[in-house]
Chain A
Amino acid sequence: MLQKKICMLGGFGVGKTSLVSRFVTSIFSDTYLTTIGVKIDKKTFAVDAHEMTLMLWDIYGQDEFQTVRDSYLRGASGYLLVADGTRHATLETAAALQQKAESVIGRVPFLLLLNKADLIREWQVDEQALVKLVDRGWSVVKTSAKTGDGVEGAFTMLASRMAA
């Protein structure tokens, strides 16, 4: 059976832990609890007719208080950058983390998840900013860990690209 490591990367409070929780256990909690260090979950599912186990490394959010260490990224076959649509600054953090990830693990598949799609009327990230990222070759998926919209599809899409 294929086993792949995926890193969840993004600023703090963007919903990395909630996305993993939604994907692995279908549970969502409104309470924000900051992640210390790393928390690893796994999920086995079928990708393109093959069984794959994803080791999901939910890494603490990057901010002025702490930066993501290279050692957490090593061995990853792909990563999910997560930004919060209601906070434009988290998109800049995601962009910085993408550069860091590429410098440590090279060009591996990744997606940008714009989370909190359930609050889309409060979004600071506009379509123009997304178009720029898509023009750079990024795949952008709108997700909501709260409602589950786009979550399963995003993980499946990344897994499928890693398996290719």
Chain B
Amino acid sequence: MTNTFCEEILAGLGLVLLERLPHGIFLRVGRSEPPEWFRHVMRSGKENEPVTVAEAMPFVGDFLDSAESFWREGSNGRLRSEAFTIVDSRGTEIGLVASALVVGHRHLLAIELSADYDERRRALQSARENVLEHDEHVRRTGALLTPLAAVRSLADRLAASGLSADQEALSTAISEQLAAMANSIQSLAPLPKGVRRARS
């Protein structure tokens, strides 16, 4: 495989490889076109042109503190950052992950699209919307039951205030209807967290 072929594969995977040179300068490895996201984030990055990575991606700037130690120790494997979000020149949010690597004596920084970013966001978004829906349901149920309990209490006091037989029958009927309403509201029990209500 040629270097260009490998570079094109990396770009196709949304990965940019930078080499850390003395004095904290970063140069992009390779001559082929970088991934599209990179072109919308970085103004620099052409061959032999330093990449101002920390300026464009402050999170990576912060990650470099750990990466420098990793490179100094010449560790094997890779040091991976948490996922981070940047907004490109088009206003699009992009999820990325940075990794520090040592290959031979070269100190490399790989920045790639976070593979599960959209999926993770969808899952979390859905789970959190469920929780919000659940909390809202509990709040609304409570808002109905509280005044209903107060009316039932008033009806009980009325029943105990020395009513005629007709009035007492009416009061009992009111109490029964209120109890039925309370039962109906309570039967709309909140869904367990994480279970989504079917939408019509």
Contacts and interface: CB of A to CB of B under 8 A. Distances in A.
Interface of A: 12-13, 32-40, 42, 55, 61, 63, 65-66, 69, 71-72, 75, 87, 89, 124
B62 interface: yes
Interface size class of B (residues with CB under 8 A): 20 to 34
A87 B86 contact: no
B58 A36 contact: no
B84 A40 contact: yes
The prevalent SS among residues of A at the interface is loop
A76 B6 CA distance: 40
- Closest A-B pairs by Cβ, 6 of them: A37-B83, A39-B85, A40-B58, A37-B84, A34-B125, A34-B124
B82 A69 contact: yes
Given A55-B58, A87-B135, A36 B127 contact: no
Interface of B: 58-59, 62, 82-87, 93, 95, 114, 117, 120-121, 124-125, 127-129, 131-132, 135, 139
A52 to B, nearest CB: 16
Contacts of A42: 58
A35 B85 contact: yes
Contact of A36 (B62, B124, B129): B124
Given A36-B124, A37-B95, 19 more contacts: A12-B128, A32-B125, A32-B129, A34-B125, A36-B83, A36-B114, A36-B120, A37-B84, A38-B59, A38-B82, A39-B84, A39-B93, A40-B59, A40-B84, A63-B131, A65-B124, A75-B62, A89-B135, A124-B139
